[in-house]
Chains A and B, each alone.
Chain A
Amino acid sequence: MKSIRFLTSIFLVLVMAGPSCQKFNLNTDDLDIKLDLNVIKTNIMVQFIDAATGEPVGFNDGKKVEITIFGPDSQWVVNNSGKRMQKMYSAAGYLTFGLDPYNAKPTPNDPISLILVADIDGYVSTSLPIFLRSEGSHDFVVNMVDLAFPPDGVVVTTRDNSGSAVGGRLVNDMDMSTDNSDVNMKIPAGTEIRDAQGNLLDGNLKTTIVYFNPVRDSALRCFPGGLNVDVNKEDGEKEKGAFFSAGFVAIDIKDESGKKAAKFDGGKLDLNMAIDENVKNPETGQSVKAGDKVPLWSYDERNGKWTFEKTTEIHQTPTGLRTEAQLQHLSYWNLDWFETSCEFIEIFFTTADASKSGETGWGYGLFFTATLTGSDEFRTDGYFSGYPEITGTKTNLNTEVLQSVPRNRQITLTFHAQEGTTPLWNIPEPITYDFCSSTPVEVPLTPNTNATGGGGDQTLTITFNIEIYCTDLGAAATIPDGILLRYRLKGSSSWGTCTASGGTFTVAGLQQNKIYEVQALYNGEWVPTPGFEYFIEPSDVTVLTKNARFEIDCGG
């Protein structure tokens, strides 16, 4: 019986007093309670670049570009926290936003159309039409003209007392020319001037005339609205296409209270504009000459459409070729020949490195410029963000940035990297192509050995897994796709940028024994402040993966 008692005791201990009766001890603070906030599937990044310096607008002085969003799908624009926005502000020259995925999913059959109007004191207001056919990340560049330091080919003339109005009517004739007389503007006395809301202008008038010479690439780059356009044609038909400009003028008249002239009544504005004799008439293929006719278009920044106004004729004058028109409203005025464009352009970046298949993070930001082959005439420029998904050995990149390339013309694409960054891939050679061809464009890439130390300098590549912790929500999340991040050597003045993808971002060309700073652009602010710092150990080599946690206010 003793043995039975002994065994019984053991069993009872096992069953009743054993581990199963121990207190359950789970510390919930140790658990990752977070959501994947990658809700927004269409992300848009816009860089606002000073056309003269090439620097992001407001990068050094903290100025913010005010962006108002118009267009049929503008109601579905959201910030990084999913809040609907109609007006946003850039931060250090960058703006990121997204689309509500449940109400605005861009597809080839149901594209999304937006117009961004960019305003900032001291710059020419401009706009960016955005036309999207697919989800993912889309990157755009807006070149802006600083009135005090315009780029080559842009002439700015401002008169503080160009005229005066009493009760909305001009007291005297207004007659003003740009400093080089490229543009002359006259408005007769007695003309009633109202702003877009119908309010009468009053008091001293300040007038700014900005003339863009289309034979200068630097001027073409900052054409407000760009050269890829939506137009209302002479016959009323709407069409997408490309402009070939003979000249562009933006006239801005404001009264003392800041009301901006938009409409004239009881008189007209006489506009007389020079035509550079080096302008090519795309209809004849020759330099423009007296007797050539060129359509005049006005711009509605609310819908991003150019509307045909009239056809003007070019005349020979003692000072050169000129044309004139009488206008009844103020707008951007553009002398352009219109050509139809390609509907859709597919671009593939290819790599011979099949091991990259399935990866999404290349850490590769790439600017491009598209010019007409032969003449090198600027057509458009933009930016490919660095995280395409590779299938096999090629990837489809962000084709929306190259829309409205003129039909039946060869285009040359040239590439360059963002200053201060080390791409994982070498900059591709220029590509010349008929972009309306049915064959997709392929751009071959080769690995950049300098990115990971193979090129001589001991540089390395780090992929950061980034978690954001919303201090206002008390919740953590992986960083959503499309969020722009910037990084720099601590103390350096220049930042490199790239966008987050799959909760990570990859930076190449980093050096050992140095401290780097990283920030994310979240709802118009660079966060965290000060930036997340990361020290690269002397022992760190080649490719690393590190975790980073940003504590930020998510604006929830």
Chain B
Amino acid sequence: MKKPQLLLMGLCLLALPFSTLSAQSPDSVSQKTKYGPLDLWGIGIKASTDGFGFEVVKGFGERLNIRLGYSTMNIPISQSIPMDGFSATVEANLKFGGANLYLDFYPVKNVIHLTAGIMQNAMRHTLTVIPTSEYLYGDIVVPAADLGIVVGEVTPETKISPYLAFGFGNTLSREHRVSFNFEMGALYHGAPQLSLTGTNMLSPMASENNQQVIMDAIAQYKWYPMVSMQLTFRII
């Protein structure tokens, strides 16, 4: 765990100068400026542990932003594994992302913010075990194609997930055209749901018992950690 912690601390340190810089004068600006519906609009791009995406940001006064966005990410992984009596390839596809609607509140203007919101959680991780070699059943040579496959799919329990975060910087600067935001938080998706399907000889691997045993083991992972960096361009 040390490495992620160091990384996060490093990211925080990197973000602080931006936050500090952008927090130099908004107090004086806000006293002078009234913002209307057509003011404080921005478009952002972001990279997070939930994928890459964009956001439309609308500012309200000096301390509130609303963000509507979408992110997505697919991570394909392929790995050969030896199994009992044959070899196989495990092909995984980790899919993250979804649409989000967040509210940012700045207790300390332009320095740190608290974020809450909801996300239409499109997380869907699949893992497919595909035999790549023949299987000897006695003297019968069973071709790899006839061994079947096992497919596991993990989805969130809640399709609409609440999100809470703590951030540095600003998702929409009142002073500058470009603003940088870094935030850490968590997405609640409930106990992950697993569905297993299997075909041919491998079909018993996808038993209800196996599904339940694995679901019990992963049931504790109800929160998904979110680390996000965002660059926003204020257009109005």
| Neighbouring B residues of A102 by C-beta, 8 Å | 140-143
Contact A35 to B202, CB < 8 A, known contacts A4-B107, A19-B222: yes
Q: How far is the CB of A500 from chain B (nearest CB, A)?
A: 15
By the criterion CB–CB under 8 Å, are B213 and A4 in contact? no
- Could you tell me how many residues of chain B have their Cβ less than 8 Å away from some Cβ of chain A? 45
Q: Which of B1, B186, B201, B213 contacts A11 (CB 8 A)?
A: B186
Q: Which of B186-231 contact A (CB under 8 A)?
A: 186, 200-205, 207, 209-210, 213-214, 217-218, 220-227
Specify which chain B residues have a CB less than 8 angstroms from the CB of A36 in the assembled complex.
148, 200-204
Contact yes or no, A16 B139, CB < 8 A: no
For A40, the closest partner residue in chain B by CB is B140
A108 in contact (CB, < 8 A): no
Cα A78 to Cα B166 in complex, Å, equals: 67
**With an 8 A cutoff between CB atoms, is B138 at the interface?**
yes
- Residues of B close to A26: CB separation below 8 A: 213-214, 217
How many Å from the CB of B158 to the closest CB on chain A?
15
A18/B139 in contact, CB under 8 A: no
Q: Which of A6-37 contact B (CB under 8 A)?
A: 7-8, 11-12, 14-16, 18-22, 24-27, 30-37
Residue of B at shortest CB range from A98?
A: B140
The answer to whether B164 touches A11 (Cβ under 8 A) is yes
Could you tell me the distance in whole angstroms from the C-beta of A385 to the nearest C-beta in chain B? 22
Query: What 1/0 mask marks residues of chain B from 51 to 82 whose CB sits below 8 Å from any chain A CB?
Result: 00000000000000000000000000000000
Instruction: Decide: B139 and A20 in contact? CB cutoff 8 A.
Output: no
Task: With A11-B185, A19-B223, A36-B201 as known contacts, state yes or no: A31 contacts B140, CB within 8 Å.
Answer: no
* Bound Cα distance A83, B165 (Å): 62
Asked if B184 lies at the interface with its beta carbon under 8 angstroms from chain A, I say yes
Interface SS, B side: mixed
Alpha-carbon gap, A37 to B218, bound state (A) = 30
CB-defined interface of B124-154 with A at 8 Å, one 1/0 digit per residue?
Answer: 0000000000001111111100001000000
Known: A19-B220, A24-B217. A4 touches B140 (CB 8 A): no
**Is A11 in contact with B166, judged by CB distance below 8 angstroms?**
yes
Q: Give the CA-CA distance A478 to B227 in the complex, in Å.
A: 46
Contact A20 B140 (CB under 8 A): no
Which residues in B have their C-beta under 8 angstroms from that of A35? Answer: 201-202, 204-205
Q: Does A257 contact B (CB under 8 A)?
A: no
Q: Which residues of the other chain, B, contact A40 by a CB distance below 8 angstroms?
A: 140
B108 interface residue, CB < 8 Å from A? yes
The answer to whether B108 and A4 have CB atoms under 8 Å apart is yes
Residues of A near B207 (CB, < 8 A) are 32
Q: How far is the CA of A8 from the CA of B226 in the complex (A)?
A: 14
B107 touches A101 (CB 8 A): no
A residues 82-102 touching B (CB-CB < 8 Å): 82-84, 100-102
Q: Which residues of B contact A81 (CB under 8 A)?
A: 137-138
B33 at interface, CB cutoff 8 A: no
Closest to A523 in B: B138
Interface assignment of A174: CB less than 8 Å from any CB of chain B: no
Contact of A16 among B8, B112, B205, B217 (CB under 8 A): B8
Q: Is A445 located at the chain interface by the 8 A CB criterion? A: no
Task: Determine whether A196 belongs to the interface, using a CB cutoff of 8 Å to chain B.
Answer: no
Residue A325 CB within 8 A of the other chain: no
Residues of A within 8 A of B202 (CB): 35-36
Determine the chain B residues whose CB is within 8 A of the CB of A12 once the complex forms: 166, 184
Q: Could you say which residues of chain A place their CB within 8 Å of the CB of B166? A: 7-8, 11-12
Inter-chain CA distance A276–B179, complex, in Å, is 113
Interface size in chain A (residues, C-beta < 8 A): 44
Tell me the bound Cα distance from A81 to B84 in angstroms. 16
Q: How near does chain A come to B76, taking the closest CB pair, in angstroms?
A: 22
Instruction: Tell me, yes or no, whether A39 is within 8 Å of chain B by CB.
Output: yes
The residues of B that contact A19 with a CB separation of less than 8 Å are 220-223
A32's partner among B108, B204, B224 (CB-CB below 8 A) is: B204
Q: Which A residues are CB-close (under 8 A) to B138?
A: 78-79, 81-84, 556
Q: List residues of chain B with CB within 8 A of the CB of A30.
A: 209, 213
Known: A11-B186, A477-B204. Contact between A83 and B225, CB under 8 A?
no
Report B-chain residues with C-beta under 8 Å of the C-beta of A84: 138-139
> Is residue A3 within 8 Å, beta carbon to beta carbon, of the partner chain?
yes
A135: shortest Cβ distance to chain B, in Å?
A: 14
A31 and B204 form a contact (CB under 8 A): no
A82 and B225 contact, CB distance less than 8 A: no
Residues of B close to A82: CB separation below 8 A: 136-140
Q: How long is the Cα–Cα vector from A40 to B107 in the complex, in angstroms?
A: 71
* Interface membership of B31, Cβ < 8 A: no
Shortest distance between the CB of B13 and any CB in chain A (Å): 15
Chain A residues, CB < 8 A from B185: 11, 14-15
Q: Are A11 and B165 in contact (CB under 8 A)?
A: yes
Taking a contact as CB atoms closer than 8 A, the residue among B142, B165, B217 that contacts A39 in the complex is B142
Closest to A556 in B: B138
Cβ-based interface call for B114 (8 A):
yes
Q: Is the Cβ of B210 less than 8 Å from the Cβ of A22?
A: no
B181 to chain A, nearest CB (A): 15
CB-CB nearest in chain B for A3: B107
From A22, A31, A475, A556, name the one whose CB has the most chain B CB atoms within 10 angstroms: A31
* Residue among B114, B139, B218, B223 with max Cβ neighbours from chain A (10 Å): B139
Q: How would residues 28 to 52 of chain A score, 1 for a CB under 8 Å from any chain B CB and 0 otherwise?
A: 0011111111111000000000000
Task: Provide the residues of chain A in CB contact with B214, threshold 8 Å.
Answer: 26, 31
Contact A31 B213 (CB under 8 A): yes
Q: Does B28 contact A (CB under 8 A)?
A: no
Residues of B within 8 A of A20 (CB): 186, 221, 223-225
Q: Are B140 and A14 in contact (CB under 8 A)?
A: no
Give chain A residues whose Cβ lies under 8 Å from the Cβ of B218.
24
Query: Bound state CA distance, A25 and B216, in angstroms?
Result: 9
Give Cα A22 to B203, complex, Å.
31
13 contacts between A and B (CB under 8 A): A15-B226, A16-B4, A18-B186, A20-B225, A27-B213, A32-B204, A32-B209, A35-B201, A35-B202, A35-B204, A36-B204, A37-B201, A81-B137
Seen from chain B, the residues whose Cβ lies within 8 Å of a Cβ on chain A are 1, 4-5, 8, 84, 107-108, 112, 114, 136-143, 148, 164-166, 184-186, 200-205, 207, 209-210, 213-214, 217-218, 220-227
For the complex of A and B, 5 pairs with smallest distance between CB atoms:
A82-B138, A26-B217, A82-B137, A11-B166, A83-B138
